[in-house]
Structure 1
Amino acid sequence: MEALFASTFAVAIAEIGDKTQLLALLLAVRFKNKTAIVFGILLSTILNHLLAAYVGEWASSWLSPDIARYIVAASFFAIALWVLVPDKADDEDSRFYRYGAFLATFVLFFLAEMGDKTQIATVVLAAKYQALAWVVAGTTIGMLLANVPVVIAGSMGAEKLPMTLIHRTCAVLFFVLGVATLLWS
């Protein structure tokens, strides 16, 4: 259960202000079918994070426990620094809009997550906890917690969020996870 809660919390916080959250906002403004957008986010996240978690578990199985622990901790520290740099939405997303709300969301979210902070966090969390199902469930729940309200609310109030504070809090969270990995793994 620790893997589920840590994964949910880490990804939900990391996702705030992330490019996929900006993408959710753009899709919500573009399409009226919010249910299709949410299901597109859900399915693309499950697939993307399942692949990422497999990579995390596979990589950690090839490394000694001490080396894996240092790599996981270093990865958490790197993510802590990375989240301090806000993302911007890509302008090329519009070419997928012709496929409709669900397919556009599925494809765009899957592509946006490739190499994204939350995908890397999923790899690291899977390597740390060795609990693929719990990590994927947690990271998926975290993505939904961060993105579904954006889809539902659309553009109302998004500019009022304290993004600097959110990014700094997220960086502290990943830093604490790195320290915890070094001390208690």
Structure 2
Amino acid sequence: MGTALIAFASAFALVFVVELPDKTLVATLILTTRYRAWPVFVGVTAAFAVQCVIAAAFGGVLTLLPDQAVAGIVAVLFAVGAFLLLREGFSEQESDLDEETSAQQTVPFLRAALTSFGVLFAAEWGDASQIATAGLSAKYAAPVWVGLGAWLALVSVAGIAVLVGKKIAERIKPHLIQRVAGVVFAAFALFAAYQALFA
């Protein structure tokens, strides 16, 4: 039991510290300003669960995945996200604040949750936290405890992002948020493309 608790605590601490300043928090925050908080949280939590199960189950084998192929896929997904956000953010159809707020509320739950799942699943694939989870799983031979610790750390970071994102959405117009989010996603896409081509 002692090893299990050490594995759990190590995974939680390491992943939380790694992900707090990482793109996981930024991507979740951006999604929360675009969609309602609850479906975003459900989507990202499910994505983290799948990623942690994969990492914990396969242990060190995950580190053998080709980094350039993963980076290329992530670059494409973030580029598509940037295009969609910038297109909406710079659309000529200006509406008042009430209409913008209601537009955010009318996005179907499933659509927002699936979008959030897809974005975070792609962002986390081959990420430092997933590699760390795989490494800790191999080190402690306690995949369930390592996976649970890593998942709770990711959920904690997402919870922080959702709370912050909701506050931002209440104070800033959605078109401005979409423009900023599009630029951030484009930066992620360029960075991932650089990794795919030159890493």
> Which of the five TM-score ranges fits, normalised by the shorter chain?
0.5 to 0.7
Q: TM-score, normalised by structure 2?
A: 0.57
Deviation at residue 21 of structure 1 after TM alignment: 1.3
* Aligned 1:4-153 pairs, distance under 5 A: 4-32=8-36, 34-56=37-59, 59=61, 90-93=78-81, 100-153=111-164
Q: Distance in 2 between matches of 1:18 and 1:40?
A: 18
Count of paired positions: 128
Paired with 1:155 and 1:22, the residues of 2 have a C-alpha distance of 13
Q: What are the Cα deviations for residues 73-124 of structure 1, in whole angstroms up to 9, with x where unaligned?
A: xxxxxxxxxxxxxxxx934325599972200111111111111111111111
Distance 1:91 1:155 in 2: 24
The residue type paired with residue 132 of structure 2 is: A
- Checking the alignment, whether the CA contact within 8 Å between 1:13 and 1:146 is kept in structure 2 is no
> How big is the shift at 1:19?
1.3
The residue aligned with 1:164 is none
Runs ≥4 residues deviating over 6 A = 96-99
Matched residue SS, 1:17 = coil
CA distance in 1, matches of 2:81, 2:166: 18
138 and 148 in structure 1: CA distance in 2 versus 1, 3 angstrom threshold = same
CA RMSD across the alignment? 2.8
After superposition, give the CA deviation of every residue in 1:48-71 in whole Å (9 maximum; x if it has no partner): 1111111216x4xxxxxxxxxxx9
Separation in 2, partners of 1:10, 1:156: 28
After TM superposition, the structure 1 stretch with the greater mean CA deviation from structure 2, 47-56 or 91-100, is 91-100
Q: CA deviation at 1:155?
A: 7.1
TM-score scaled by structure 1? 0.61
**Which amino acid counterpart does residue 113 of structure 1 have in structure 2?**
E
Instruction: Report the 3-state secondary structure (helix = DSSP H, G, I; strand = E; otherwise coil) of the residue aligned with 1:115.
Output: coil
Structure 2 SS opposite 1:90: helix
CA distance in 2, matches of 1:14, 1:155: 23
Structure 1: runs of 5+ lacking an equivalent = 60-70, 72-88, 158-185
Mark the structure with the bigger radius of gyration.
Answer: 2
